[in-house]
Amino acid sequence: VDRRRLTAALALACAALLCACTFSRQRFGDDRFLGADVDWEPGRTTVREVAAALGPPDLVRWSDDRLVFVYRYQQVVRTSFALNFYLNLFSRDQAGQVDGTLVVGFDDRDRLVWWGASRAEDASPTTRTSFR
Amino acid sequence: VRPRAAARVAVALALAALPGCGLVTLVHDSTIGPASPAGRIHDLAVGSDFHVTERGPVAEMGGEPLLRPYPPDLLRRLAEPSSFYSAIHGFEAFMAGVSPVVSRETRIGRPALREGGGEPRPGTAAAEVLQRLGAPELWIRRESGSLMLYRSELHRTFSFYVGVPPVAAAFIPVPGAGNLRVRWAREQDRASKLLLFFDRDDRLEAAIAGADPWTAGD
C-alpha cells in the first residue's frame, strides 16, 4: 500500500472521528505550592521565608495583628461533542476540575502560626448528555 | 387611496412592533436556539445590564418580564458614546467567531516592574517606592512594619478550529456544515506579583517578585 495514501486515509479517518468535538483547558494561578516540599516550623519560620519559597501570594488578609497569605490554583479540563443539523441533535459534555488552596497564617511578629493546603480533584467528572 | 394605504401599512407595522422583540426572541431560543448561529438571544434582546465584552454581548434576565417588548435601557444601548466601544468589542467577538485561529491577551493592571527595571533596593523609602512604582494593590501598615503588594494579570487565550468555525458555518448554505470541525482551546491567567516588606521607619527591607509560570507550550 502506498504510504502517502495510507497517511492521508488515516488523517481523514481521524478528522472524521473528531468531527464536532471541542477540547478546552483553563488554568488559573500557580500550582507549585501543591507539590512544594516545605519544612516550616510554627514560631520560627518567617513570612519572608514563605514568600521566598512560594513567591508572593494571590491574596493577603490582615486582621487583629494576624497576617494571612492565600495561594490559589484552579484547572478545568472540558471535552464536548455536539452534533447539529438545524437543531441540536446530540450533545455530550464532560468536565474535570482541580482546585488547590494554601492558607498560611502569621502572628504580629510575622512568624508562622499555622498553614493548611487542600487539593480537590473531581473523582467523577461532570458528564451531561442530551438528545433531541 | 394612497393616504389610506399608508395608514394601513402604518397600523400593520405598529401592530407588528407592538409585541416587540421579546416574543420573537423567546420563540427563537425555544425552537432553534441551541443550533442557531446567533445562540440564545432572548436575554440580550430584552434583558438588563447589557454590556459587550471581547467575547460578545452579555445581559441578564433575572426577574425581568420575559415578554417585555424592548430592553429597559434601549437608549443607553444605542445613544451613549459607550455604545461605540461596545460595537468595537462586538466586532472583535464576531471576528473571533469566524477565525480559525484566535490568540488573545488581556492585561489587568500594570506590571510593577517594567522590562529592564529592577526591584527597589533595600533601604529605599516607601515614598520613593510609591513614586517609582505607583500605587500598590494592597498596602498594610502595621507598627512593626508595613507590606505592599503589587499585582498585575495577563489573561491569555488561544484556540483554533480545524474545519468550519461555528459562526462561519452560518454563512455556508450546507445543512450540518457546522459539524465539520474540531476545536481546541486553552485559557490561562498569569499573575505578576511583587511583595515589598518595610520596617517600622518605612524603609524597604526586602522585595520578593514572582510570576506564575506558563505551562509547557504556552
- Cβ of B195 within 8 Å of Cβ of A84? The answer is no
Report the C-alpha gap between B123 and B182 in whole angstroms.
56
Mode of pairing for the β-strands spanning B138-140 and A112-121? unpaired
Residues of chain B above pLDDT 90, percent: 17
Q: How confident is the model at residue B218, as a pLDDT?
A: 47
Whether A65 has a pLDDT exceeding 80, the answer reads no
Residues of chain B with pLDDT under 70: 1, 16-19, 34-37, 115-117, 213-218
Give the residue on B whose Cα is nearest the Cα of A54: B210
Residue A58 contacts B, CB cutoff 8 Å: yes
CB-nearest to A87 from B34, B181, B213 is B34
Report the C-alpha gap between B135 and B149 in whole angstroms.
10
Tell me the pLDDT band of A123, cut-offs 50, 70 and 90.
Answer: low
Q: How confident is the model at residue B20, as a pLDDT?
A: 73
Which three cell numbers, joined as nine digits, stand for B104? 488573545
- Chain A CB contacts of B197 under 8 Å are 47-48
Tens digit of each residue's pLDDT (9 = 90 or more) over B53-94 = 777 788 887 777 777 877 888 888 877 777 888 888 888 888
- Cβ of A25 within 8 Å of Cβ of B186? The answer is yes
In chain A, positions 60-99, which contact chain B (CB-CB < 8 Å)?
60, 62, 65, 67, 83-88
pTM tops 0.90 = no
ipTM score? 0.75
- Chain B CB contacts of A65 under 8 Å are 142
Q: Residue type for A76, please?
A: V
Q: How far apart are the first and last CA of chain A?
A: 42
Selection from A12, A15, A58 nearest residue A33 by Cα = A58
